[in-house]
Structure formats: structure tokens, C-alpha cells
Amino acid sequence: MNNKVAFEDLGIIDYKEAWDYQEKLFSGIIDIKMRNRVNPENQEATPNYLLFCEHPHVYTLGKHGSEENLLANMLELSNKKATYYKINRGGDITYHGPGQIVGYPILDLDNFSPDIHKYVYNLEEAVIRTIAEYGLKGGRLDGASGVWLDPDDPARARKICAIGIRSSRWVTMHGFAFNVNTDLSYFDLINPCGFTDKQATSMQKELGRDIDMAEVKVRVKYYLGKIIGMELA
């Protein structure tokens, strides 16, 4: 088991470029696991990665999502300088853009805990503990992934972090989108994560001020490492 995780902050990067990079790392881990399976006497340690980035305005639809949750046509997206991709993660439609911390853990969960539900719970927990340091109380909404504020109040429940992952042979990709200083008007063009009666929010909106992105990244990274058991490099 290898709990070492290579961390990389990609800065602002085109969504497709980041997706291709994820696929390359993801496939590399899968290839090692397949070789280990056919050659048990010569086992290779599988690497792990954690990528942080921000994307230019983009909407992504998960493999089980509905295009009806995209409320804009291609011309309207172009006018908003936004792109659109159908992708291979779980979940429905979401938005990525500047001011949002997007995290892509590409992990071999055999190095940690091979339990997808626990893994998603741990991603949520890292964000919940991060926003708690700013006086925000996050929680979980029954039947929905991600981190919510006021999840027990249907009239006020709002999402501050979306989660959608892909896994194969216990290797993960995609991850979370955490709204820090995000322009929330872009969520008006979708039913976020398929919900027609729930809103998105951000740390900036809740606290009434701009938030230091670098500071938040440090805290999210710390809690991810602590909760999942990653030795981050």
C-alpha cells in the first residue's frame, strides 16, 4: 500500500485539457493494477495524485444526467463565454468557473480504503471542516452528494460544494467543485445537479466578502490528507 500522493496546482486550465490529463494519470494507475494482477510475484506500487485547479466558465453533464437541466442553448453559452461537455463522472449537471476550487483526487483506493461511499463522505467532510473554520456550518442532504448549508430546511438548503466522481478497479477521478468566490449568476443557466428547487451558494456570498483562495486551498488540502490518510508531497 502506498499512501503517498503527488499534489499539483494546475492554476486556471481549460476543462478538456485537465480532463485529458486526469485520464492519462487514471489510465496509468489502471495499467499498473492490471500488470500486478497477471504478475503477482512482481508487484508495482500504484501512484496517487491530487490536482487542484480553476476552469474558465464551463458546464459539465454527468453520464446519468439529463440535458433538460441545461437551460441555455449553445448561442447563449457562447455569449456567456462558456463551454459544455458531456463527461464520464456520476451526478448531473454542474458549473465550473473562476473563483471555484476544483479538486481532482486520482487515487488507488486500495492504498487507502476501498469503499466508494466512504470516499465521497470523506471528500464532503474535508470541505465541511474547511468552511467551519470560517464560521459556516456545512452538512449533507439526504439523497444528494456534496456539501450543503441548512440541509434540514428545504426552503433554505443551498449547495456550496458539488461532488461527482468516476471509479474503476478502485481508482478514482473527477472530484469536487467548491464555490469560494464563484460568480453564482452562471448557475442560473442550469438546474444545479438536477435540482429545480435548490440554489448554489459560495463562501463569498455567505460571508459577504472576498475570500483568500490560496488560504482555502491550504485548508482543504490539509483536511483531505488528514481524513483520507494521504501523505501529500
- Active-site residue (options: 193, 203, 216, 230): 193
| Dihedral, CA of residue 92, residue 93, residue 99 and residue 100, to nearest 10 | 10
71 by DSSP, 3-state: which? coil
The Cα–Cα gap between 74 and 187 comes to 15
The Cα–Cα gap between 90 and 96 comes to 16
Q: For 14-36, give one letter per residue: b (16+ CB within 10 A) or e.
A: ebeebbebbeebbeebbebbeee
CB within 8 A of 175, min separation 6: which ones? 102, 103, 104, 105, 123, 163, 164, 165
The Cα–Cα gap between 206 and 201 comes to 7
Residue 53 annotated among the catalytic residues of the structure: no
CA 23 to chain centre: 15
Catalytic residues, which ones?
A: 193
